[in-house]
Structure 1
Amino acid sequence: MTSPELTLNGLLEQISALPRGPFSPAEILDRAGWSRTMRRPLLNQLDTLVALGLLRRSRRGSYLLVRPLQRLEGQLQRRGNALQLAGTDGQLYALAPHQSLAALSGDQVNALLLPQRQRRRAEVLLVDILRHQQTEVVGRCQASRGATGCWLLADSDGQRYQLQLPPDSAPKDLVDQVVQARIQRYPTFDSPGLAELVAVLGAADDPWTDLPRIALAHQLPLQFDAAALAEAQAAASQPVIAELAQRTDLRHLPLVTIDGADARDFDDAIALEAQPGGYWRLWVAIADVSHYVASGSALDAAAWQRGTSVYFSGSCLPMLPEALSNGICSLMPQQDRLALVLQLDCDGQGGLRQTRVHNALICSRARLTYEAVQHCLDNATSDGAAGLDETVAAMLPQLAVFCDQLRQRRLQRGALDFDLPEADIRLDDNGRVRFVGRRPRLLAHRLVEECMLLANEAVAALLTDDENTGALYRVHEAPDAQALIDFQQFIALYNLGFNLDPLRPDGRELAEVLRQAAATPQAFSIHRLLLRSMRQASYSADNVGHFGLASACYGHFTSPIRRYPDLVQHRLLKRHLGWTTTAVAPAALEPVGLHCTQCERRAMEAEREVVALRSCQFMQDRIGERFSGFVSAVTDFGFFVELDDFFIEGLVSVRHLSDDYYQYDVQTHSLTGQRRRRRFTLGQAVEVVLWQVRLEGREIDFVLADLVPRPTPQASRRRLSRGKQG
């Protein structure tokens, strides 16, 4: 074991301080003042640096630095089953073997860039942990063998490690319980870490325990502090009608909310009025959250910390306490509410002509669901409007016509409509998964989306020329040229995309590719490949436009109950209109945008993990069953299959393609057998058998139905038992 005084970081500092040329281990020991007993640990460290290509060792036992040491800093991130370093230079680096530091995902580290090997991604050697991001962890308690207390098997961003809970912190009844713990000593390769108990979340086999476990693993706050809750209760107790003197009374408008059946936080309500000459007037009312959440308050701090509400199947972690999110801010039917209302006057083709903003008092006429609206639209000449307010029932078909005009305008200017499915996860009363499917995509969804897109653009346009206020934009840069070249090479196999210019991407040309692909078996795969070619959208004070929406100026405004950037935009709009002086200064908007982007991605990762976990739970009792599906992605280690009847994806590993040796073609996204020429490519229909489910890894493995291995009964039982671990 390496002496604690002899660290890799200290050794590198000594080597860097030596004169150029060969050096001996004795010189290092003398220079550092290390005792001769450290010679063996020192030789081990030096030999590791030789193996990594940093040093060269002569026959006489001296060492020579191959090239000047190049250090860099960054943060460790999880990618698949491995950690990678996201450098401050914007590059991603793989972690080389022979690491001497037991670092965790999220750690800020100092690393050494290694000589790049042929056809390998640049690798680094971790030198020093500058800062641990994780101070609290979630995991399952296990019985301790031969030691006091119990072990906590922590799971952080897919990385598993052990911490010891001492007996005064861990009573025996904690075994098989999921707990939250605070790290007191971080684990190393030589010893486990130490932690103290914070809270017991529940039994490991209780499905409701999964959600707080995943939330805490992604550093998502579960509870609001007392100050934020007190402010929320005080705000909720304010009589809304007392604000009427300072507001425009718009309670006569036939505003309605349209949301999912299980929604409770209603940010937005809409109404449409036909105007003379074929013109339209769209009213978009958005909850005036900034009236209740003052900048710099405890509520604001809580919302800033969260950045966004996080939606899990059957549960939600709200950005604001429920007294606001489901109470006084929510635009519930037949309840007076404070709102910022956009009056959007449009021509007969959906072109925006004028925008007015009202500081208003409103009253939603009805709380509609997507399904109810769709039923009304589908049965406009029969009883589809039964039970609806007469004015609302007459408005919905007009809204469909108007929103189709908005959509056609967007598509004509080059907006991309990927229309990919979302997971529809249904649980029973005990939290067990009973179905994982694709959520239906209805015309009713499009009505709301088009109205919100128009409102978001209108507010961004009002703010964009105000240098004294600034704006927080939702930006989406054009795709990377190389990514588009790769995409073009693939779609050319299907006689698509010959007019694309990867160096000057045009959304209209890409939209045409999607339209043409819609009639092919590869439609879904082409949509997904193009989506993967896109850059991620983000928040920024610098307006570079939104490529995917083909919008020159776009921001988020319509969801302030659940998104912090929308709350920021509300404050900026009020300052622009002279209604307040309290808002983020223009110079501070860029770090605000970066923070909001990070919070959004953290929430997305947690939501994806919940979907993956629920998918595994749904499939874990179906090992050995046969399913139909299609190839959704191809890699050098196998291909992924998405099932036809369920929104479930799993891997067919090349290890289980036993009929041939398969070679991956990156250009065609295919695997081809070298002898029999059997080929697997995107969109191809396949029959598979469920082989294994790993709950802890959130992984599902399939095998081809005609290549099912013949395991022993003991192996079958092992696969099943591993699948049911939790």
Structure 2
Amino acid sequence: MPRRPMHMSEAAKAALRTALQRLRTDLHAPAAFPAPVLEAADAAAHAPRLPDKDATCLPLFTIDLPTSKDLDQAMYLERRPGGGFRVYYAIADVAAFVAPGGALDAEARKRIVTLYFPDGKVPLHPPVLSEGAASLLPDQTVPALLWQHDLDADGGVTTSHVSRALVRSRAKLDYAGVQHAIDSGTAEEPVALLRDIGTLCEAVEAARGGISLTLPQQEVTFEDGSFRLGYRASLPVDGWNEQISLMTGMAAARMMLDSGPGILRTQDTAPTHEVTRLHRVAQGLGIEWPKHLSYAELIRSLDPNNQKHAAFLHEAAGALLLKSVYKSFPDHDHIPEQTSHAAIAAPYTHCTAPLRRLVDRYAGELCVAAGDGQAPPNWVLEALDDLPSRMTKAKGSAADRQSVDLVEAAVLMDRVGGIFDATVIDTDEEEEPSNRREGQVQMAEPAVVGRVTSADVDLALGSSVRVRLERADPAFPDRDKKILFSLLQD
């Protein structure tokens, strides 16, 4: 599931620079790599561990944002003789560059994930690796973990395996370009097959009860002295591309469950009270949710181009995604009771973004070992107990959420005192049964969330209300109250 992406103009970045720097300080985001780490990265870039297998004949391609250089994944798609499809999916082999117990390894274990802010990122690995020697950049021969998935004609995966190999991407493509090429009929078959395979996989996902949230991109600009916030819906190719990653994460989880040691990304089913709350949110936003329609079916029916649907999708993402946890197990006899990820409706693990997420390097090693019928390296086994708790300390989600808070507050800075239509999306009654006069509202336009207080009227979850903006301050110390509304009464 992707993080909530956001882009800012240069003028907006300048206006928020102080608040964003304070956020980095509050999150203890590392500013620069220590000299020994940079030295180790330079050395590793020139002398990685190379595999025996050579798969550079595969004309792989990457799909990412035009400006991205930390390319974790590359793919090649083809039809199988007799029917069905074959997916080659190369994942950057970070372990080929990072020596266990060395300076690079220790620094990555501190950083845990790449942190994304509106005005830049704090990378997990030094750029000489993450945007250079270890990245699947075009026309660069690099070590990778090469997955091969065979699919039947209906998009069901029949076999999967992974091995180390040298690979060479032929092209760096971007989402908009791929979408245009596919829609116009000009895409070469390996690219055009992404639609065929992705669409089939989406149908398979729907059949098993999985949910994919295609979140709109948040866009911020600074015009005539004011911030402007808008949403840009993701393209169908985003979802098709995501299906290849999900396919690999599910295959990796199956390998681990079959072989013994492993680490899974699990998620409980959304609790009844959360679904009930979202029913009320949908009602308040004017979204019809018939009783016979399941949660998953409703999510798939919504249009991210519709402002109210986009608002609901973001609220649903919070309900679905924040409760995912990592669970590790040392052998086949100690598999956790909960192995499934509710939103995916299958066992799943993170393994496709090792340049940006620590746990993926370990998951990749476990899968390679399982595929070879060998025991995983000791450095992987020794880290398994600690990995789930270490990953919970990652600041990626906090950086995302708090960056959004800052930007949304900035968007409304010049509108304090204004009156807006909004929907009550949460009340404090859940935490404090007697408190029905504080909670959260989501504005209809722009779709911004903020705290709301009511003087003497109880808030009704999902109700449409009129509110006055009392505060919009990116520098306000309480992140939950950077935006504050008061309820207007009829």
1:66-145 to structure 2, matched below 5 A, reads none
What is the CA–CA distance in structure 2 between the aligned matches of 1:440 and 1:496, rounded to whole Å?
Answer: 22
SS of aligned partner of 1:614: helix
Structure 2 counterpart SS, 1:276: coil
Aligned partner (choices 516, 526, 538) of residue 325 of structure 2: 538
Give secondary structure in 2 for the equivalent of 1:356.
strand
Distance 1:626 1:367, change over 3 A: farther
Taking a change above 3 Å as real, the CA distance of residues 498 and 604 of structure 1, as seen in their structure-2 partners, is: same
What CA distance in whole angstroms lies between the structure 1 residues aligned with 2:373 and 2:127? 30
Q: Aligned partners of 1:305, 1:573: CA distance in 2, in Å?
A: 24
Measure the CA separation in 2 of the matches of 1:236 and 1:398: 34
- Residue 633 (structure 1) aligned with residue 420 (structure 2): no
Q: CA deviation at 1:279?
A: 1.1
How far apart, CA to CA, are the structure 1 residues paired with 2:282 and 2:406? 33
Residue 21 of structure 1 corresponds to none
> Which position in structure 1 is the counterpart of 2:8?
none
Name which of 211, 214, 219 aligns with 1:419: 214
Separation in 1, partners of 2:96, 2:409 = 43
Does the 8 Å CA contact 2:410/2:473 hold for their aligned counterparts? Answer: no
- Hey, what does 1:480 align to over in structure 2? 271
- Residue 427 and residue 453 in structure 1: after superposition, are their counterparts in 2 closer, same or farther (change >3 A)? farther
How far residue 497 of structure 1 moved from its aligned partner, in angstroms, is 6.4
Partners of 1:515 and 1:315 in 2: CA distance:
32
Q: Are 1:405 and 2:200 an aligned pair?
A: yes
CA distance in 1, matches of 2:37, 2:232: 35
In the other structure, the counterpart of 2:354 is: 560
Q: State the identity as a percent.
A: 27
User: What residue in structure 2 maps to residue 4 of structure 1?
Assistant: none
Alignment-mate amino acid for residue 237 of structure 1: H
- Matched letter for residue 440 of structure 1: A
State the partner residue of 1:83: none
- State the shift of 1:482 in Å: 4.9
Could you tell me which of 359, 365, 387 is aligned with 1:571?
Answer: 365
Q: What's the secondary structure of 2:173's corresponding residue?
A: strand
Call closer, same or farther: CA 1:456–1:533 in 2, change over 3 Å: closer
Letter in 1 for 2:52: R
Q: Corresponding residue for 1:372?
A: 177
* Structure 1 position 457 matched with structure 2 position 250: yes
Given the alignment of the two structures, is residue 230 of structure 1 paired with residue 52 of structure 2, yes or no?
A: no
Which secondary structure state, in structure 2, belongs to the residue aligned with residue 621 of structure 1? helix
d(CA) in 2 for partners of 1:688 and 1:587? 54
What residue in structure 2 maps to residue 314 of structure 1? Answer: 119
Residues 282-291 or 438-447, more deviating: 438-447
* Distance (Å, rounded) in 2 between the aligned partners of 1:587 and 1:480: 34
The question of whether the paired residues in 2 share the 8 Å contact of 1:574 and 1:580 is answered with no
1:216 aligns to what? 25
Mapping of 1:255-404 within 5 angstroms? 255-380=60-185, 385=186, 393-404=188-199
Tell whether the 8 Å contact from 1:307 to 1:596 is kept in structure 2 after alignment: yes
How far the C-alpha of 1:289 sits from its partner, in A, is 0.5
Asked if structure 2 preserves the Cα contact closer than 8 Å seen for 1:339 and 1:360, the reply is: yes
Q: Which has the larger radius of gyration?
A: 1
Q: State the Cα distance separating 1:559 from its structure 2 match.
A: 0.3
Normalised by the size of structure 1, how large is the TM-score? Answer: 0.56
Please list the CA deviations of residues 64-90 of structure 1 after superposition, one character each: whole Å capped at 9, or x if unmatched: xxxxxxxxxxxxxxxxxxxxxxxxxxx
Change (3 A) 1:644 1:395: farther
Q: Give SS of 1:566's match.
A: helix
Equivalences for residues 697-716 of structure 1 within 5 A: 697=476, 698=479, 699-702=482-485
In 2 relative to 1, CA 521–338 (structure 1 residues): closer, same or farther, beyond 3 Å? closer
The SS at the match of 2:82 is helix
CA contact (8 A) 2:452 2:484 kept: yes
Determine if contact 2:263/2:384 at 8 Å carries over to the other structure: yes
Show CA shifts across 1:141-192 (max 9, x none). xxxxxxxxxxxxxxxxxxxxxxxxxxxxxxxxxxxxxxxxxxxxxxxxxxxx
CA distance in structure 1 between the partners assigned to 2:354 and 2:231 by the alignment: 27
Q: CA deviation at 1:401?
A: 1.1
Contact 1:313 1:425 (C-alpha < 8 Å) held by counterparts? no
Q: Which moved more, 1:268-277 or 1:575-584?
A: 575-584
CA drift of 1:206 comes to: 6.8
Contact between 2:307 and 2:447, CA under 8 Å: does it hold in 1?
Answer: no
Q: CA deviation at 1:486?
A: 5.9
3-state DSSP of counterpart to 1:299:
helix
Pair 1:511 & 2:316 matched = no
Q: What TM-score, normalized to structure 2?
A: 0.81
Match of 2:448 among 625, 630, 648: 648
CA distance in 2, matches of 1:441, 1:547: 23
Helix, strand or coil at the partner of 2:238: helix
Are 2:460 and 1:694 equivalent residues in the alignment? no
Q: What is the aligned-residue RMSD (CA, Å)?
A: 3.4
CA contact (8 A) 2:179 2:236 kept: yes
Unaligned runs of 5+ in 2: 1-13, 329-335, 428-435
User: Whose helix proportion is higher, 1 or 2?
Assistant: 2
| Structure 1 position 366, deviation (Å) | 1.1
CA-CA distance at 1:514 after TM superposition: 4.0
Amino acid at match of 2:195: A
Deviation at 1:207, TM superposition (A): 3.6
Indicate if the aligned counterparts of 1:282 and 1:345 stay in contact, CA closer than 8 A.
Answer: yes
Paired with 2:60 and 2:380, the residues of 1 have a C-alpha distance of 34
Once residues 230 and 93 of structure 2 are traced to their aligned partners in structure 1, the CA distance between those partners, rounded to angstroms, is 35
How far apart are 1:368 and its partner, in Å? 1.1
- CA distance 1:433–1:215, shift in 2 (3 Å): farther
**Which ranges in structure 1 are unaligned for 5 or more consecutive residues?**
1-204, 386-391, 500-507, 656-660, 671-680, 708-726
Aligned residues: 451
How far off its partner does 1:276 sit?
2.0
CA contact (8 A) 1:540 1:594 kept: no
